[in-house]
Each structure stands twice: as C-alpha cells, then as structure tokens.
Amino acid sequence: MRSFQPHLFVILGASGDLTSRKLAPALFHLMERHNELRCCHILGVARSDMSDAAFRDSVRDALHERHPEGSDLSAWCDDHVFYQSLGGGSGYDGLARRIASIEKECGLPGNRVFYLALPPKTFPGTIEALGQANLHETPGWARLVIEKPFGHDLTSAHALNDLVHRYFSESQIFRIDHYLGKETVQNLLVFRFGNALFESVWHRGQIERVDIQVHEDLGVETRAGYYDQSGALRDMVQNHITQLLSLVAMEAPARFDADSIRQEKIKVLESIVPLRPEDVLLGQYAAGEVDGEPVRAYREETGVPDGSTTETFVRLRMEIANWRWRGVPFTLETGKRMPEKRTRIAIRFQPAPVSLFRPYEDTCNVRPNILEITLQPDEGFNLHFDVKQPRMPLRLTPRRLRFRYDEVFGDLPEAYETLLGDVIQGDQTLFVHADEVINSWRLYTPVLEASLPVHPYAPGSTGPNSAS
Ligand code: BG6
C-alpha cells in the first residue's frame, strides 16, 4: 500500500518560475486532496539571497491564485516552508547542515526528494555537488527528480546516467516527462489493455498507419536561449512524442507495475529501424501573418542568433520492425506556429478487403475507419465510420462515435500533480528509465548529426510544403 511519508521536498533552483508555475501549485493541490501529505516540508534552494519569510511569501502567491479568499495552507507555510541560499560561501556543506537541522527540528526521518528545477547544463555540477556533500546518504529514503532534457545526445546522456548512478540507484531516479502525467496519456494503456475489442485489432493485420501529431500555435516565446540550443527534435520528439509512440506500440506488460511497463516500452525503442535522412523533414517558421496579425520569423525572435538553423518543425516516418508492427508506417510530427494547439494520435485501420459498393463508385467510396485520440485540448476519442444515408439510393456518409472527458469528468488534473504525488510515494511507472533515454538518443542522434536541410514554413500553416 502506497502512502505519503513525512519527508523534506528540496527544490534546487527554487527561485525559477517552475516552482511558482508548476511545483508549488501542484503540491498545494495534492495537500488539499490528501490531508496526510501535510507532513511534507519544503526547502527552496537557489543562489540568490532570500529569507525564509520571503520564500514563503513567493510560495503563498501560488496558493493565493487558487484561493484569493485565503486558505488554511497559508498558515501551514509558516512552519513547513524554508529557504537556503547556496551563495555566501557555505555552498552544499551549508545546505547539508541546514537539511540536518530542519530534519531534527521538525522530527523528520531523513526522507528526501531532491528536485532539479534547473537549466539542463547545470544538472551534472548539481548532482556531483549533492553527492560530494553526501546528501543522498540518509537514514530514510532519497529520491532525485530530473527535468527533461536528459542529455543532449547519446554521449551526453550516457555520461549523465553514469554520473547519477554514482550516487543514486535507478530505483531512486525519477526522470520527468510531463506528458506521462497527463490523464489522457495514462489512459492509452487502459484503453488498449482494458478493452479487448481494440486490442484484438491493434496490429499490422488491421492497422494501416499510425500518425502522432503534437502541434502548438505559439512560437518560441521567451525561451529562445534554451530552445535555440535544443530545437524541436530534442525538445519534443526525443522525449514526449517518443513516449506516446512507446505507449501506442508496446506489448501488454506481464504486470501493471513500473518495471514491467518500462521493459515493454524499451523493447519498442529497440525494434525501431534506424532513421534515414529521407525519413525526416525539418522546418523553421518564417515571418507571416496569423489571424491578420504580423508574426515574426523564428530567426527574428528575441534571443535567437542571426541565421539560426534550429528546427521548429519535425516530421518523421519510422518503422517498428517487430511481429506486431512490421510494415506499418508511424509518422511523428511536431511544430511551433501551427494552425492550432492540438495533440492527437490517429490510428487508421485497413480498408475493407473488397468494396461491395464499387458499382456506385462516386457516392459509395469506402473510407477507412479511423480512431482519433485527442490528448489535448478537447480530450477524448472519435471513432470514424460510414453509415448508409437513409432513404437515398445507396449512399454512404461518414459519422463518428464520440467521447469527451470534460462532459463526463469535468476538469482533468495537472500533469505535475500526478507526477509529484508519485515521486513522494515512490512509484516510478510514469517516469523514464535510463534505458529508455539511451535508446531514444540512439535513434535520434544520427539525425541530429546529419545536418539535414531546414525548410521555411509560413506561420499558421502545417509545416513546409513537402510535409504534405
Ligand atoms: C515542453 C517543451 O516540454 O513541452 C515546450 O519544452 C512545449 O517547448 C511544451 O511547448 C508542450 O507541453 P504541453 O503540455 O503544453 O503540450
């Protein structure tokens, strides 16, 4: 039985916006739903000099947004939230002393979560410093949470894994991919393995192709410093979209637990045929207009270096060479400045082997059945099929069966809420295993190193022309 045990939740990089935007709201929301989680204590850590009181106020702001009228958790912050600066010379030894003193003062058993809410380039130095200060050695449990991207290619991902494993075992490491925390993504396994009807047609004999699309209408916004070093392949494909692919394509696990599920996902990645340059199309948004408003080109965005060739669009086609999928094309597509924000998976089934309605050709084309899974927004499913239009001479018309989450369940929880709850309870099912990261980088690193051409596309379009 999983439970919330008393612990210290240490946020490294606590002055950044991840803490106020995601972590603090998610922790508060969890505490509102699970009273027993109020045994948690939070320690913010950053370089800047700040008092406990000032940090508490910044954390309370996140609470205030949810409850402008006030919340009893506001008082809770007074004796559960602390701040430690890494500046002023004491560094990680000072942090170790502070952690020991908070644990003693608050009667904590030494259970610790270290959450790296930091720029990726600082991961290695921070992990090394935590290890050198022996912060991972504790009478309770210690868990390390790392945001994506985990490495920037195969070599760096190996090096980062080696470093982390020097101080933490794999069962203590929680590599975050926030897509795995989305309800609609978790539902992929329930949908497949809880409904025998769909699983019985989920293979090359019945499926013609699978398309996974993650479109965003926004541009790079204020994140050019990070994004230009990363690009869509590293930012979206290597992690989020590859996770979606693994969940759609994996075999049924022996048990519904972290090890069994992650082993099946790894096997999918191991079966993907190496990508060739002709399987990949890269693009970058040019200047143009969206809804009548002028939109800057990616290269003109603040912070993007002149002449940058970083891709903001990727479309690639791959094949999974295993018994279930051989010969079925999977296309993965993502882009910024697309017509709308939409994440969807389309499963297109094989057409009927014979068209009975061929004599009436122009009105009786048989369309393939498509299962469209919308992960966001308008979360839900559409199953498309044809019906006979009543009364007409024989005519087929497309219709759909439709399910929408919001009509049944209301608002869905934020991904971070689910993921933080799982970290605190020690459940790794929704986190990425070292071998998943390595296999994913093994697949995409040759593409990253191939210097493929990057084609311009108009903002508000669906990518470079050749994408069609
Ligand atoms: C992040 C990427 O991981 O995911 C962003 O760094 C992207 O570039 C974001 O915009 C998309 O997440 P979501 O949940 O809005 O689809």
Question: How confident is the model over 3-24, as pLDDT tens digits?
Answer: 789 999 999 999 988 998 899 9
Q: Please state the rounded mean pLDDT for residues 440-448.
A: 96
**pLDDT band, very low/low/confident/very high, at 87 (cuts 50, 70, 90):** confident
SS3 300: helix
pLDDT for 173 beyond 90: yes
Cα separation values, 33 from 15, 27, 60, 197, 417, Å: 26, 10, 18, 35, 11
Q: Please state the rounded mean pLDDT for residues 283-312.
A: 95
Q: What percent of the chain has pLDDT over 90?
A: 82
Phi-psi region of 134 (alpha: psi -120 to 50; beta: other; left: phi over 0): left
pLDDT for 73 beyond 80: yes
pLDDT for 46 beyond 90: yes
* C-alpha closest to that of 212 among 264, 248, 182: 248
Domain annotation for the chain: domains and CATH numbers: 7-147 (3.40.50.720), 180-412+434-467 (3.30.360.10)
Q: Distance (Å, rounded) from C-alpha 430 to C-alpha 177?
A: 8
Higher pLDDT, 2 or 232: 232
pLDDT value, residue 95: 96
Question: For 340, phi and psi rounded to 5 degrees?
Answer: -155, 165
* C-alpha closest to that of 11 among 202, 107, 147: 147
What digits encode the pLDDT tens for the residues 92-145? 999 999 999 999 999 999 999 999 999 999 999 999 999 999 999 999 999 999
pLDDT for 467 beyond 80: no
**pLDDT band, very low/low/confident/very high, at 396 (cuts 50, 70, 90):** confident
pLDDT for 162 beyond 60: yes
pLDDT for 468 beyond 50: no
Q: How far is the CA of 245 from the centre of ligand 1 (A)?
A: 17
Greatest distance between any 2 Cα atoms in the chain: 85
Q: Distance (Å, rounded) from C-alpha 312 to C-alpha 236?
A: 10
Ligand 1: which residue has its CA nearest to atom 14? Answer: 179
Structure pTM?
0.94
SS3 52: helix
pLDDT value, residue 395: 81
Instruction: Please check whether residue 99 is in contact with residue 40, taking contact to mean a CB–CB distance below 8 angstroms.
Output: no
Atom of ligand 1 nearest to the CA of 230: 6
Ligand 1: which residue has its CA nearest to atom 6? Answer: 235
Give the residue numbers annotated as catalytic, written as ranges.
240
Q: Distance (Å, rounded) from C-alpha 330 to C-alpha 322?
A: 13
What digits encode the pLDDT tens for the residues 451-461? 999 999 999 99
| Residue among 183, 226, 236, 338 to mutate when testing ligand 1 (max atoms within 8 A of CB) | 236
pLDDT value, residue 384: 95
Q: How far is the CA of 409 from the centre of ligand 1 (A)?
A: 24
DSSP string, 219-240: --TT-HHHHHHHHHIIIIIIII
Ligand 1: which residue has its CA nearest to atom 10? Answer: 216
Q: Distance (Å, rounded) from C-alpha 442 to C-alpha 238?
A: 10
The least confident of 143-157, 350-364, 452-466 is 350-364
pLDDT value, residue 363: 60
Q: How far is the CA of 251 from the centre of ligand 1 (A)?
A: 27
Atom of ligand 1 nearest to the CA of 148: 3
Ligand 1: which residue has its CA nearest to atom 15? Answer: 216
Q: How far is the CA of 72 from the centre of ligand 1 (A)?
A: 32
Atom of ligand 1 nearest to the CA of 235: 6
Q: How far is the CA of 214 from the centre of ligand 1 (A)?
A: 9
pLDDT for 359 beyond 80: no
pLDDT for 447 beyond 80: yes
Residue 223 neighbours by CB under 8 Å, 6+ apart:
none
pLDDT for 383 beyond 90: yes
Q: What percent of the chain has pLDDT over 70?
A: 97
Residue 456 neighbours by CB under 8 Å, 6+ apart:
283, 284, 285, 286, 297, 464
Q: How far is the CA of 174 from the centre of ligand 1 (A)?
A: 19
| Count of CA atoms in the C-beta half-sphere (13 A) of 84 | 22
* Average pLDDT taken over every residue of the chain: 93
What is the token pair recorded at 271?
A: 């079966």
Atom of ligand 1 nearest to the CA of 214: 16
Atom of ligand 1 nearest to the CA of 218: 10
Q: Distance (Å, rounded) from C-alpha 170 to C-alpha 434?
A: 7
Ligand 1: which residue has its CA nearest to atom 13? Answer: 179
Atom of ligand 1 nearest to the CA of 216: 10
Name all residues whose Cβ lies below 6 A of ligand 1: 216, 235, 343
Cα separation values, 101 from 74, 84, 108, Å: 23, 12, 10
pLDDT for 252 beyond 50: yes
pLDDT value, residue 352: 84
Higher pLDDT, 372 or 391: 372
Residues listed for the chain: 468
**pLDDT band, very low/low/confident/very high, at 357 (cuts 50, 70, 90):** confident
| Residue among 17, 184, 185, 216 to mutate when testing ligand 1 (max atoms within 8 A of CB) | 216
Ligand 1: which residue has its CA nearest to atom 4? Answer: 236
Q: How far is the CA of 206 from the centre of ligand 1 (A)?
A: 32
pLDDT for 54 beyond 70: yes
Measured torsion, CA atoms of residues 191, 194, 196, 201, in degrees rounded to the nearest 10: 30
Q: Distance (Å, rounded) from C-alpha 23 to C-alpha 14?
A: 9
Q: Distance (Å, rounded) from C-alpha 212 to C-alpha 198?
A: 18
